[in-house]
Amino acid sequence: MTDLGTLSNIAQILGALTVIGGVVFAVAQLIEYRRQRQETSAAELMKLFHNPELARAVRLIRDLPDDVSAEELRGRGSEYELAAIVACTTYETIGLLVFLDVTPFQLVRQLTGGIAVVMWRKLRRWNSQVRNEQSQPSWAEWFQWLAELLQRHTDEKETEPAYKKYAAWAPHA
């Protein structure tokens, strides 16, 4: 027969295994939650880029000179300033989501890195003037943060187009 000490040891071992199993399960759930959150974020981000309003804004802004002034932008018509606001608010949201680690930076860099940097290059002077006019230094702060971050984390190899960089890529069997 088994004595009380042996049963106590078995109970302690089972208790420890239960706690370890619970911790392993919790960690697995957290990893899965983070993966799902990133997938949801990616899907929402892709929807954002399929927004016709953003497409129109990018189309108008890309033809502007770098560092366009508020006067020049407004002189082109109200649709240009609306396009600038659409670009700013879109990239403002994305920048904050990256900062809060809701949307992975690498995903944003791959999806829109170049466009965001170009949009900022075109609109940075206008943004500065809007900040001064409105006495609101935080206007488009996350857009600026994101564009500057993307600019810093882009090297020559990363600017190579995907069709060249990944020409030898093949799907997993």
Structure confidence by residue, pLDDT tens digits, 61-107 = 999 999 999 999 999 999 999 999 999 999 999 999 999 988 889 88
Taking the CB of residue 6, how many other CB atoms lie within 10 A of it? 10
Q: What share of the chain is helix, strand, coil (3-state, %, to 5)?
A: 75, 0, 25
Model confidence at 173: pLDDT above 90: no
Confidence of residue 115 (pLDDT cuts 50, 70, 90): very high
Domain that holds residue 116: 39-158
Q: Which residue shows structure tokens 């649709």?
A: 79
pLDDT score, position 1: 55
Q: What value does the mean pLDDT of the chain take?
A: 89
The verdict on residue 127 lying in a domain is: yes
Give the residue-averaged pLDDT of 106-118.
Answer: 89
Residue 27 in any domain: the answer is: no
| Residue 159: per-residue pLDDT | 66
Average pLDDT of span 115-128: 96
pLDDT, tens digit, 9 for 90 and up, residues 18-41: 889 888 888 888 888 888 877 777
The answer to whether 41 touches 68, Cβ cutoff 8 Å, is no
Q: Compute the distance between CA of residue 21 and CA of residue 33 in angstroms, rounded to an integer.
A: 18
Note the pLDDT tens digit of each residue in 132-164.
999 999 999 999 999 999 999 876 556 677 888
The reply to whether 70 falls in a domain is yes
- pTM to 2 decimal places: 0.74
- The C-alpha angle with vertex 168 and arms to 162 and 173, in degrees rounded to 5, equals 110
Residue 21 lies in a domain: no
Count of structural domains within the chain: 1
